[in-house]
Structure 1
């Protein structure tokens, strides 16, 4: 099914399919109303956000700052052992997230930090912090 697709295309397909299908049910209560909603897991969300970063064009470069911030926050608040388990359970997802994390967070760490600084009101993590988060994610996925 994924033959003939490049790495970024596989990231899109696998990430969005996983976000739609690998969900957890959350029960929400408000007054007398109770609703069960599907919530995407963290690894598929990372795949979608990493794809968004890679896919942004110059006309939408301002969106990269918030994408970068979302990626950083998703990793900073993650349990790395849960991400590793998710990658072991869905190897294709783990492979594409590992590739994208290296391409974005390690290879473009200074750019991620700069885009967060330019396009959000949040103090950006330094390039070293972004690279460390990328390395931690890649190591967890490959463990």
Structure 2
């Protein structure tokens, strides 16, 4: 085993498929600048497979990486309908753009600004990680090479936007969003370095994160506990009081790093 992170594969080999797909993307010379976000990135940063995920989500500098993947890497049938699939795995590539010099040029709405700042910061602050995927009996079944992965605080910002902004058919995904956010905050509050990086994030991103943590972990802690529990198919229960404590710990850390 040579990777920075080791993950134990699920019985259906979903994790190894995702890691191989991500490896194909990041081994392509012109597929950059890009960074992993979404469920696979959360799994890598937490170094544990805490829930199922079926997609590879990335953010990129402009449209170039998506156009490249669509033209040269995607399975033919998916590319014909303007979708990107690699060996049957769905790939989402979200274009981002350099942030403006002035906050006046950012969106006025808090959620819109959280989206723009969070996803761009996810790209700008991402770091390389090598991943090994192991079978249940400890044998290596996939090795990634270097993947560029969003940091824990950047993933938290992206996930807080997702859980707050979901509408219509996407609403059920709030369950996995809630579980991700709970796990990410639990990891984040243990690291002074990660707290400091969030405090120093562009513009008012730290304040926007604080606002959403107040909503989901204090004002609506019961709802978040139910959503997170549902994401585990009832195998784990979350106490709203514990979530409130977790949220307050992060808010206090951000206020006085």
- 1 CA distance for matches of 2:199 and 2:162? 23
1:52-71 equivalent positions in 2, closer than 5 A: 52-71=162-181
* RMSD, matched Cα: 2.3
Q: Which has the higher helix share?
A: 1
2:158 corresponds in structure 1 to 48
Deviation at 1:28, TM superposition (A): 4.8
Tell which deviates more after alignment, 109-118 or 61-70. Answer: 109-118
2:236 corresponds in structure 1 to 123
Count of equivalent residues: 142
The TM-score with structure 2 as length reference comes to 0.50
1:57-96 equivalent positions in 2, closer than 5 A: 57-78=167-188, 79-90=190-201, 92-96=204-208
Q: Residue 179 of structure 2 contacts residue 229 of structure 2 at CA under 8 Å; is this kept in 1?
A: no
Tell which deviates more after alignment, 12-21 or 75-84. Answer: 75-84
2:121 to 18, 25, 49: 18
Q: Secondary structure at the match of 2:129?
A: strand
User: Which structure has the greater CA radius of gyration?
Assistant: 2
Q: Which has the higher strand share?
A: 2
Q: Secondary structure at the match of 1:90?
A: coil
- 2 CA distance for matches of 1:44 and 1:72? 14
Deviation at 1:58, TM superposition (A): 4.4
1:48-81 CA-partner distances (Å, limit 9, x unpaired)? 1111110112433321111100000111123242
Q: Which runs of 4+ in 1 moved over 6 A?
A: none
Unaligned runs of 5+ residues in structure 1 are none
Q: Residue 83 of structure 1 contacts residue 141 of structure 1 at CA under 8 Å; is this kept in 2?
A: no
Relative contact order (C-alpha < 8 Å, sep 6+): which is higher?
1
Matched, 1:39 2:149: yes
